[in-house]
Amino acid sequence: MQRFADKPASCFSADFGEIPKPTVKSGWKKAAFSILTAPNALHSGIFLPSVPFLGGIGVMSEQCRKTKFIVYTGILSALAIILYFFDFPIIPGSNYLMIDASDLPAVIAGVILGPSTAVIVELLKVLVHVLIKGMGSTMGFGDLANFIVGVAFTVPFAAVFRAAAKRGVKLFPAILLSGVTGLVSMVTAGLIGNYFIAPPYFQLFLHIKLSGAALWAAIGSATILNLIKSVLLTVVMIPIIGLLNKKAIKL
């Protein structure tokens, strides 16, 4: 049997097949394009939750697995960073509560690469955002809260989905169960973070006392935001996972 390690240049083509012409020569562009176009996408262990994490079919070289992990993590992190800059308020009177789509690439990363990769994407997104835009009027609390609730949703979603896929659960029930788990986790993390972290944070860095009615109003608005965001993420993941599944595998 010819091993993938014998042909390092075929790390991606081994999973995705040949890219239809016209195509691009750049490795990361080729990989990104291949994810949604090639017939065998998701067949390796990087994508398919029912086989060992990054394990592939047992003949892929360690170097190929590492290369793929770095490439896909980099692509999804870059996408998350870009999306994080496009946020907007959805709750009237609470312009400090912004919603964005930056958690979507992290969810995808968690599903195809493992829950820990979702944490990596969330962390890189927040760090780059702070480096470019600075701490902001809340001294970074918005970014900290975004990271906390983002991880709280993406990690459980990815973990539950991969576990459900291993047990042969059908696609829609698996996504629904993952979404409900992520929703509960995100709302809980938001409540804990806003109640226990926000008051001392605002007192220490902004010299603003956040308590009583003002605190509970902020918690209520944030909870509504987290509910909306988790539902939207789950709904959007249905066609995304369905598309990847249709192109490549049967869960």
Bridge partners for 134 per DSSP: none
What are the helix and strand counts (H, E) for the chain? 9, 2
For position 39, which CATH number holds? 1.10.1760.20
Domain count, the chain: 1
Range of the domain at 22: 4-247
Q: Which of 69, 141, 149, 70 is nearest to 102 (CA)?
A: 149
Query: What H or E segment, with its residue span, contains residue 13?
Result: helix 13-16
State phi, psi for 99 to the nearest 5 degrees. Answer: -115, 145
Residue with the two structure tokens 């926000």: 198
Three-class secondary structure of residue 128 per DSSP: helix
Ordered per-residue pLDDT tens for the chain, 251 residues: 444 444 445 565 545 544 444 444 455 445 444 443 443 333 333 444 433 333 333 445 778 888 889 999 999 999 999 999 998 887 666 666 788 999 999 999 999 999 999 999 999 999 999 999 887 766 788 899 899 999 999 999 999 999 999 999 999 999 999 999 999 999 999 999 888 888 888 788 778 888 888 889 888 988 999 999 999 999 999 999 988 776 543 33
